[in-house]
Structure 1
């Protein structure tokens, strides 16, 4: 079923899709936003998205989001940094992130 056993560990690098108003506007341009583990490279991101959603990826843009300082009462801490990936799909391909009800 899975050609590469390493692919299963690569799939685990995908955390979740980002669905905000800004990323929803990108859906019209056939671009989707996901959060990945920080060590994931563009080639792995392309492989994972193509395997999971059965689509053709044209372009992958990635960037590391910086950690953010947060305060709870008198204590300070940080929210961890993460890698955000914007994936552009080929014409005619689509990822259905929402279940049709």
Structure 2
């Protein structure tokens, strides 16, 4: 699998920002078929950092209403990546 297709997008929330500042952890939305080794390899190749640990979780779909119709959001996978001390990934470099 292509390393650029494994990482779909970074997750930037209050919780992920705190984790990045305090614990040197970064969150990504990843392909559901990707495993921890593929995620680790992708982050190391794309960002040039050393990855110490990868935690993954499947986020279940939520029910959403559209008038009288009930639908569901998509199921997706979240990865929390622990970086080596001193390594950093800046998503807002120019801002």
Gaps spanning 5+ residues in structure 1: where? 1-5
Q: Structure 1 runs of 4+ off > 4 angstroms?
A: none
Q: Are residues 1:27 and 2:20 paired?
A: yes
Q: Displacement of 1:99 after TM fit?
A: 2.4
Gaps spanning 5+ residues in structure 2: where? none
Secondary structure of the equivalent of 1:26?
Answer: helix
Aligned mates of 2:31, 2:92 — CA distance in 1: 23
Q: Deviations over 1:32-83 (max 9, x none)?
A: 0000011100000000000000000000000100011111111111101111
Secondary structure of the equivalent of 2:40?
Answer: helix
* TM-score, normalised via structure 1 length: 0.88
Which residue of structure 1 lines up, in the alignment, with residue 9 of structure 2?
16
Query: RMSD of the alignment, in Å?
Result: 1.0
